[in-house]
Amino acid sequence: MDHLIREVRTSGRTLRLQILPDRTILVIAPHDVDIEPFIREKRGWIEKKLRELTHIEEHYGKFDDMFLLDGCFHSVTCAPACSLPRSNSGVVTYDTPGHLKQLLTTSLRTELEEKVLRFSTHCGMKPHGICIRTQRTKWGSCSGHGMLNFNLALLALPPPVRDYVIFHEVVHLRERNHSPTFRDILASYWPEYKAHEHLLKTYWLLVERNSIWKVLRSL
């Protein structure tokens, strides 16, 4: 296979595979496991994911240096103060990446506080709190203590898809894992959730490639 393979060895017992935006094949495996049979077994899956990356590059590569916000790509310019666009074709202005990150965090927190309250009322559960992070592997998570953690990059998503992620994590206040009961709750409130989960995979790749989100996630 003509792609770089990077191994990460852990003390766990689970084999995992991930295709990074630069086409590196990341294999996470226990210390004593030979990864070659696993890679051969997953060859079809790997080739499928690489084709998906090619599609992303061909259709969205020209937007890598624009800012992905609310599912749209925006031009960015330096200015004395930060501002976010009021329309899908607006311009993002900022003086420093740090100040832009602060503005985005404030904007997302305001939205989360309103929507978590609304969705948790539907589920009959109240979270312990809300935390915003620049997470590397997840759009969001729910801790065992009821703390809802959300990725700042949620702001890259179209609003309906972002709402789905928020609702998804709120449902975890009732059902901690992705059990059939959890899926039933999702489907009853959010019938199109499978389509949104598919879109989340595409937007994750777009965020990983995006030059501005890379800077924000490094702060």
Q: What angle, rounded to 10 degrees, do the helices at 193-209 and 43-60 form?
A: 70
Amino acid at 163: D
pLDDT in tens, 94-145: 999 999 999 999 999 999 999 999 999 888 888 999 999 998 889 999 998 9
Structure confidence at residue 22 (pLDDT): 84
Tell me which fold the domain 96-218 belongs to: Zincin-like (3.30.2010)
Q: Are 72 and 60 in contact (CB under 8 A)?
A: no
Rounded to whole angstroms, how far apart are CA atoms 38 and 40?
5
Structure confidence at residue 78 (pLDDT): 93
Domain range annotation of the chain:
5-63, 96-218
**Number of Cβ within a 10 Å radius of residue 191:** 9
Task: Flag residues of the chain having pLDDT under 70.
Answer: 1-2
* Angular region, 16: left φ>0, alpha ψ -120 to 50, beta rest: beta
Structure confidence at residue 1 (pLDDT): 61
Structure confidence at residue 147 (pLDDT): 95
SS3 117: helix
**Number of Cβ within a 10 Å radius of residue 88:** 11
